[in-house]
A and B are shown apart, each in its own frame.
Chain A
Amino acid sequence: MIPELGNFALALALIVSFVMTGAGLAGAQMGNAAWMVAARPAAIALFGLSSIAFAALTWAFVVSDFSVSNVAANSHSLKPMLYKVSGVWGNHEGSMLLWVLMLSLFGAAVAVLGDNLPPGLRARVLGVQGGIAFGFLLFILLTSNPFDRLDPAPLDGQGLNPLLQDPGLAFHPPMLYLGYVGLSVTFCFAIAALIEGKVDAAWARWVRPWTLAAWSSLTLGIALGSWWAYYELGWGGWWFWDPVENASFMPWLAATALLHSAIVVEKRDALKTWTVLLAIIAFSFSLLGTFLVRSGVLTSVHAFATDPARGLYILLFLLAVIGGSLTLFAIRAPAMKSGGLFAPVSREGALVLNNLLLSTALATVLLGTLYPLFLEVVSGDKVSVGPPFFNATFVPLMIPLIIAMAAGPLMGWKRGDLAGVLSRLKVAGIAVGIAIAVTWWAQSDGPPLALLGIGLAAWLFVGTLIEFAERTRLFRVPLSNSLRRAAGLPRSAWGLLLGHAGVAILVAGVTGSSAWTVEKIQAMAIGEAIDVAGYSFTLDAVTEGQGPNYQYRRAAFTVRHDGKVYDVLEPEKRFFPVERNETTEAAIRSTFLGDLYAVIGDETPQGTWVTRIYFNPLVPWIWAGCLIMVAGGLVSLSDRRLRIGAPQRKRATPSPAPAPAE
């Protein structure tokens, strides 16, 4: 009964989304106030109905109702409750429903929080949002209904891929979707702006919080996925340039560029067409990501079970949404004139450089991901484009970006003073020297590029601190005075500090883990010890046991440092009888300088055990860097200026715009 209720809610939601689109778009176009107003309750109703549908599916998973074919295919009565629930979105149909739920959540948020938006803009934004929801709902109802029944119902389900039965991966998709779908709001604002032919500072302020929220969720989602790969795949890798990873990374790159270009629109009324285009592109890549994962056009380890009929629908939907919006852009954008002028060396110039490098990086990832497909279509040849390509092309683009990241925030608007900025960065230059010297002293055998990476990290970190110190007049006025200034700074200044410092720490982590990993693979007898990076690992015992829905083999390594017991690492290998599949659970002990990482393998014919022990330098910095970046995004989001209620009616004429007036 409950699944039918969910199905009914989905059908109703389809109708409501249709009404929402019509009322919002047509109402605004014809100036019909009643219709425009109707889009708001429709958005809220859509959220309510999607919630009912989602709750119904969750209920079916929680009570293991195997007469629902989706539950039978993806769950099992013995699964722990957490994974019964996460199983809801661990499959194609359920994840689409989650997507719609998030979409309607954002739509409802715009409806509820958008009091200060001009009625026409709000109606159009909601209308576009409703249209996207309509497309997804139709897709679900036509090709991927999660409520389809099985008759007769099987006695038990087929279980969920054990790799997905993991806390990291349970929350990875929701965070990622929150990001993808958050970008839809920015997209809707861009479309509305194109229809109205108006982009101004107020528009940029309305767009920015949504972009920030989406960016923060995307960052967290990608980091979670990466962290999962790190401890679950068992060889210490955390990024593989797999098409599906790239599919989530491309919207992130676009969102990062958008975040920065929107600043220029807000402060200087420039880069308007570009920002609108970026907003369209960012969401387009979110949709493209969905397509790549589900259509089967690209092969990937992570791909969902694929189906050409679904692929065709998504392709048509993509063409309608992306193609339509880009065509609208092509027609309307030439009429939008940019205001603020600026010299190449200026804050705007630095932000433009940021956008140039990020967009090139985005294009590079897109090219590398899709090139095999293009080539096969054009010539029938097959090539592979893997990590070595991306490392060779992506990394060189990041180097100038990081160098510029330290200098940009110190530049003045309109016309900057490069020599002055560089002299203020003297301390950062010294820090680079020290960092490289210390690294050289500690690890002289690594690749030379690694020194560059550490130097860049130091440059960015110290450069970012300098900017913050200048704002708070640290060391120039008494400390208490500085602290008061720091507390009084706009939250976006804190966001900049955290965001950029997070990147610096991330860069150090990435460098360390790719340059100096120590790996020991061997067969060990019980009681045998082995030294890795100054730690001694003794294999004390290998035991077997029974988990909730798996059998495990667990090893106990006693780790000693300087002769003293430091920790006990207990990696596991798990066998899931229902799914007939194994997982490795690495045991990880993080230290400031890196992770001790142990994995247990199979027994050898000689009665010893295959073990892998790693020292993964600076990997904790990767996660710390990402979390700090996310914190920066959230702090910035709480900026009063960006709060949806803040810009009120004060539609500030953007600071005296055309420069010739100077």
Chain B
Amino acid sequence: MRKLLYFIPALIMAGLGAAFYLQLGKDASVVPSALIDRAAPEFALDPIEGHDRPGLASADFRGQVTVVNVFASWCLPCRAEHPLVMALAERDDIQVAGLNYKDKPEDARRWLAELGDPYDRIGADQTGRVGIDFGVYGVPETFVIDRNGVVRFKHVGPLTEEHVRKSILPAIEALQK
């Protein structure tokens, strides 16, 4: 029995090794959202100045499933994921909303004119306050919000086809039932 005590250091090492192994290759920098399964924050944002889409407010989430995409013209990865957001906008069972994060209106207008505007509504969050209320820490981010205005899913970073297929679409389908 006493001899078993001497195995404790080796066992601790084994535990450490197992933990390291499980964590290897994972991206340690993605932070889970505190908002999942909670009501989206209350806000009302003006549209982008001079752009012909309505603004965005929390009341707009009522009644239909909404995908909120946080974007900015200064954000390079947003450009990369943009075609996927355009594709999402093809669906007519959801509303695609944009949160234009800390952007200048003229830059945002030019960016949307160049790449296309997939958004049904766009809120211009010039101060970044609504972004903070949403817990945004790295643009782009994408939220899926249900008919009652409850946040159900969040993706941080640029979307890829795989993300859309494996997480965004299933999240939307689940909410349509």
A contacts B directly (C-beta below 8 A): yes
| Residues of A that sit less than 8 Å from B by CB | 273, 277, 280-281, 284, 291, 295-299, 308, 311-312, 315, 318-319, 322-323, 326-327, 329-331, 333-334, 370, 373-374, 376-377, 380, 382
Contact with A along B14-38 (1 / 0, CB 8 A): 1011011111110011011000000
Nearest CB of chain B from residue A647's CB, rounded to whole Å: 29
12 contacts between A and B (CB under 8 A): A277-B9, A280-B9, A284-B13, A291-B20, A315-B24, A323-B10, A323-B17, A327-B7, A330-B7, A331-B6, A334-B3, A377-B23
Closest to B2 in A: A334
Beyond A333-B6, A382-B32, 7 additional contacts (C-beta under 8 Å) are A280-B9, A308-B25, A329-B6, A370-B16, A370-B19, A376-B23, A377-B22
Given A277-B9, A323-B13, A327-B10, also A299-B20 (CB < 8 A): no
Nearest CB of chain B from residue A216's CB, rounded to whole Å: 27
CB pair B29 A374 closer than 8 Å: no
| Residues of B that sit less than 8 Å from A by CB | 2-3, 6-7, 9-10, 13-14, 16-17, 19-25, 28-29, 31-32
The answer for the CA separation of A277 and B8 in the assembled complex, in Å, is 11
Contact partner, B20, options A295, A329, A331, Cβ 8 Å: A295
CB pair A329 B28 closer than 8 Å: no
Q: Which B residues are CB-close (under 8 A) to A326?
A: 9-10, 13
Q: Which B residues are CB-close (under 8 A) to A374?
A: 19
The answer for the CA separation of A281 and B10 in the assembled complex, in Å, is 11
CB pair B17 A319 closer than 8 Å: yes
Contact partner, A297, options B2, B3, B20, Cβ 8 Å: B20
Q: Which B residues are CB-close (under 8 A) to A333?
A: 6
CB pair B13 A322 closer than 8 Å: yes
CB pair B6 A298 closer than 8 Å: no
Closest to B15 in A: A374
Closest to A309 in B: B25
Q: Which A residues are CB-close (under 8 A) to B19?
A: 370, 373-374, 377
The answer for the CA separation of A296 and B19 in the assembled complex, in Å, is 13
Given A323-B10, A327-B10, also A297-B16 (CB < 8 A): no
Nearest CB of chain A from residue B156's CB, rounded to whole Å: 12
Nearest CB of chain B from residue A276's CB, rounded to whole Å: 11
CB pair A297 B9 closer than 8 Å: no
Closest to B25 in A: A308
Q: Which A residues are CB-close (under 8 A) to B21?
A: 315
Q: Which A residues are CB-close (under 8 A) to B6?
A: 273, 329-331, 333-334
Q: Which B residues are CB-close (under 8 A) to A277?
A: 9
The answer for the CA separation of A312 and B25 in the assembled complex, in Å, is 9
Nearest CB of chain B from residue A27's CB, rounded to whole Å: 27
